[in-house]
């Protein structure tokens, strides 16, 4: 892995797509919306590791309802435009979700293959309801019909990093969402 790492590009030279403040404003609005829609109920937030960790941390604190977290991890099939669609579960949820109100929390809804797989997997656990929150939605890249119920921003087909999102595991801690100067190979 280490010897295949691409050269480091300083995030400071990348264009900012959304600033910290813009992100915080949208997360607050979605947290408020969820708090109103699920009023009086408890919810389970299921984050998709690792990209959604930061969004989930902020969203959970913007929701004023009783909520718990869980996390799943899936294998990456690569980011080729024509994907095999093979998504594999690496880490399942820790606690049962049967009869619970569940929101899957994702960083980016891109081709939709990951969330399509996870949605079916979670539905098999028979939750009372299942919705999807994503920080970013690249609608034009969709290969399967799936939509998110809560979206911070719909974005064009550009490769982005920051706010939990990586390129080769880097840049997750960058506070703004920034555009990689060149699309990574295979994207």
Residues near ligand IMP (CB under 6 A): 51, 106-115, 159-161, 165-166
Closest CA to 17 of 127, 186, 181, 143: 181
Active-site choice (70, 107, 110, 176): 110
Nearer to ligand IMP, 56 or 109 (CB): 109
Q: What are phi and psi of 139, to 5 degrees?
A: -55, -35
Residue 109 class from Cβ within 10 Å (0-12 exposed, 13-18 middle, 19+ buried)?
buried
Neighbouring C-beta atoms of residue 10, cutoff 10 Å: 6
Does the annotation mark 110 as catalytic? yes
Nearer to ligand IMP, 67 or 111 (CB): 111
CB contact at 8 A, 14 and 181: yes
Length of the chain as a residue count: 187
Nearer to ligand IMP, 70 or 107 (CB): 107
> Strands (DSSP E) along the chain, which ranges?
15-18, 43-49, 67-74, 89-91, 101-109, 129-137, 150-154, 160-161, 177-179
- Residue 38 CB, shortest distance to ligand IMP, in Å, is 24
Nearer to ligand IMP, 38 or 45 (CB): 45
* Catalytic center residues: 110
């Amino acid at each position: 892995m280490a010897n295949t790492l691409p050269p480091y590009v300083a995030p400071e030279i990348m264009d900012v797509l959304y600033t910290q403040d813009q992100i915080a404003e949208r997360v607050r609005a979605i947290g408020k919306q969820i708090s109103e829609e699920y009023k009086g109920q408890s919810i389970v937030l299921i984050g998709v590791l690792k990209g959604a960790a930061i969004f989930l941390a902020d969203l959970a604190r913007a929701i004023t309802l009783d909520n718990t977290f869980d996390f799943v991890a899936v294998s990456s099939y690569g980011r080729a435009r024509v994907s095999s669609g093979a998504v594999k579960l690496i880490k399942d949820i820790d606690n049962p979700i049967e009869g619970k109100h569940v929101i899957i929390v994702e960083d980016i809804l891109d081709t939709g293959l990951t969330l399509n797989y996870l949605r079916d997997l979670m539905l098999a656990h028979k939750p009372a309801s299942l919705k999807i929150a994503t920080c970013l939605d690249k609608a034009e890249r969709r290969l399967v019909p799936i939509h998110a119920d809560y979206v911070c921003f719909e974005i064009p087909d550009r490769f982005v990093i920051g706010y939990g999102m990586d390129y080769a595991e880097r840049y997750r801690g960058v506070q703004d969402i920034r555009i990689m100067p060149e699309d990574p190979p295979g994207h």
